[in-house]
Amino acid sequence: EAGVAQSPRYKIIEKRQSVAFWCNPISGHATLYWYQQILGQGPKLLIQFQNNGVVDDSQLPKDRFSAERLKGVDSTLKIQPAKLEDSAVYLCASSFGATPGEQYFGPGTRLTVT
């Protein structure tokens, strides 16, 4: 079974630039999560999708971050414009059902904003 795919793996941008991350979940997984993990901290949920609907986006900075999951499969997360404090690893995870504990994480995208 193929795992969660993410790209790119690494990205370096200057502040005020824009960036997009892509995630392809495990086939058949209805729930998709985007997390931000800053060095030394636990993952912080940014947005959770159930199929192509948003379950929770309360911690998504909507003035600069956006995410979509068209057709209920893969997803993109965009930051525009980026700030220095956005430097982090962005993790995508998916689960078959709504139970978050059974989620599988992708390798992550390490973003550095200079």
Which stretches of the chain bind other proteins, using CB under 8 A? 33, 35, 40-45, 48, 55-56, 91, 98-108
In the complex, the smallest distance separating the C-beta of residue 96 from other proteins, rounded to whole angstroms, is: 12
Whole-number minimum distance, CB 81 to other proteins, in Å? 27
> Please, which residue, 27 or 58, has the CB nearer to other proteins?
58
Q: Among residues 9 and 83, whose Cβ is nearest to other proteins? A: 9
Q: How far is CA 104 from CA 81, 82, 95, in A?
A: 29, 27, 6
Token pair of 93 as six digits? 């995870």
Q: How far apart are CA 100 and CA 79, in angstroms?
A: 25
> Cα 73 from chain centroid?
13
CA distance 25 to 8: 15
Q: Kindly tell me which of 20 and 55 has the beta carbon lying closer to other proteins.
A: 55
